[in-house]
Amino acid sequence: MVEPGLATGAALAAMRDAVRPGITTLELDAIAEDAIRSRGGAPNFMLEPGYRHTICANVNEHVVHAIPTGRPLEPGDIVALDAGAVVDGWHGDAAFTAVLPDPARPDRTTAIEKLGDVTEQAMWRGIARLATASHLGEVGEAVSAYVRANSDFGVLEDYIGHGIGRSMHEDPPVFNVPVHRRGPEVKPGLVVAIEPIISAGGIDTVVEDDDWTVTIADGSMSAQWEHSVAVHRDGIWVLTAEDGGASGLAPLGITPVPIP
Ligand code: MG
């Protein structure tokens, strides 16, 4: 799963370089597709029946599964860009949130920067916990504890992480909040997408008339970060990060280990 992880990471890196006011999410979609195909992969979101794009582009109150559009991004937007690649039948899946500062609205800029930062750091807390967890349920405890301690944001419960491998979405579910079950044992061979989705307000969601785009019901802004992470006999490795997650995990005292 190293190759699809790197192809997915390349798509995210290319979008991170390109995202700015004035670009459309359809243009970012094309950039992500080029990055994946140039690494010998194929966009796996297109394998979902009826979905024709490489990415989901979730702007502001759009929270997941939003279809790319021709609307240029604007200062003050917060956009979660989610992409995945398949190589030789194996899958990768990752997302990041870009914040476009608006100098004319410093309060909004501060608010969306905090939402993006808390979501990213919640993801790294979840990944770090996976490195030492006995059961998968600990990931959701770590994610939600970080969000609760650092904000009054809401952790979505309708959309969660997942196992990944021969399919993009597999068992086991990866919750972002504590649940009654401890979840499966964390052991070598487990590969999961850890993806907290955070709302600045309420956590209830609605599906729009296009049957894809999911919006926060009260119109709050939202953010999503995601990585696909492998547990192997020597440690964990973040498959969709070029450095295996080293820079994100270093402040948390975790050193990812390349897959032998
Ligand atoms: Mg996912």
* pLDDT tens per residue, range 36-66: 999 999 999 999 999 999 999 999 999 999 9
| Rounded distance from Cα 18 to ligand 1 centre (Å) | 22
How many other β-carbons are positioned within 10 Å of the β-carbon of residue 251?
Answer: 10
69: Cβ contacts below 8 Å, ≥ 6 apart: 24, 25, 26, 57
| Rounded distance from Cα 83 to ligand 1 centre (Å) | 9
pLDDT of residue 30: 98
- Retrieve residue 172's tokens: 């086991």
Q: What dihedral do alpha carbons 211, 213, 219, 220 form, nearest 10°? A: 140
Q: Which residue ranges form the domains of the chain, and what is each CATH number?
A: 2-227 (3.90.230.10)
pLDDT of residue 181: 85
pLDDT, block means (10 residues), the chain with 260 residues: 98 98 98 98 95 96 94 97 98 98 96 97 98 97 98 96 97 94 95 98 94 94 97 97 98 96
pLDDT of residue 227: 98
| Rounded distance from Cα 227 to ligand 1 centre (Å) | 8
pLDDT of residue 169: 96
- The percent of the chain in helix, strand and coil, each rounded to the nearest 5, is 30, 25, 40
| Rounded distance from Cα 161 to ligand 1 centre (Å) | 6
